[in-house]
Amino acid sequence: MTKKDQAYELAVQKREVFGKKLNKIRKEGLIPGNIYGESFKSQAVTANLINFHKIFKKAKETQVVYLKLDANKDTIPVLIHNVQYHPIDNKVLHIDFRKVDLQKKIETEVPVKFTGESEAVNQKKGVLQTISDTLLVEALPDKIPSEIEVDISGLKEVNDQIQVKALKSSTDYTFKDDPEKTIVRITEHKEEETAPQTEAPTTEVTEQKEEGEVTAEEGKAATEKPTEKPAEKTSETEPEKAKKS
């Protein structure tokens, strides 16, 4: 069985609907998309939602998918390059198909899959920290791996790490990331910070008084006589002067 026999095939149709009218075709179970690529005139298309999900679940963004456009016998080799989702219900809104030349190498991101068990993690010496969950590789489109396996069983102590240069090479693809790039490492456990204990704020309680009741402070204020400032002597009036005379 050849690679082509194992390939994924998806039927698409030319699309002449754009803008707000796209909501109507989405309700009909279709997804709008675009095919683009080097030396290829961009083509707007639609794909059946259910059929796309079946293909995307297996092919992801790393395996070649052959698009059958309308009634054409020839298929178009593509990679599912970008899938846009609705921010609330997570439904697929749009797809970008990247046309590829099966005879030309391309660069693409491939997901990392960790295998094995770390002694440092099992013995609770530290925690596994993922620095990069994808790696950039160069390969022919039909030689791109679906994932890159990274064995973490060699991570036994805190600060142990795995860099790109430690990965096994392959005849199908080459790594394009910096060889010194760290993929995963063991870090120390972070102690949970305990907030300093503070005294609970004291709440001043004021007793509610019955109607007519007077508090001690109010009573004290009521019994105290206000100190009056002695009146200043005023000059004698004219009638008083007359009496004396």
Task: Please tell me the least confidently modeled range out of 45-54, 75-84, 142-151, 189-198.
Answer: 189-198
* pLDDT single digits (tens) 228-241: 444 444 444 444 44
Domains 8-101 and 107-187 share a fold: no
Class of the CATH-defined domain 107-187: mainly beta
Of the candidates 76, 61, 63, the residue with the CA atom closest to the CA atom of residue 6? 63
pLDDT digits (tens, 9 = 90+) for 198-234: 555 554 444 444 444 444 444 444 444 444 444 444 4
Per-domain residue ranges of the chain? 8-101, 107-187
**CATH T-level assignment (fold) for domain 8-101:** Ribosomal Protein L25; Chain P (2.40.240)
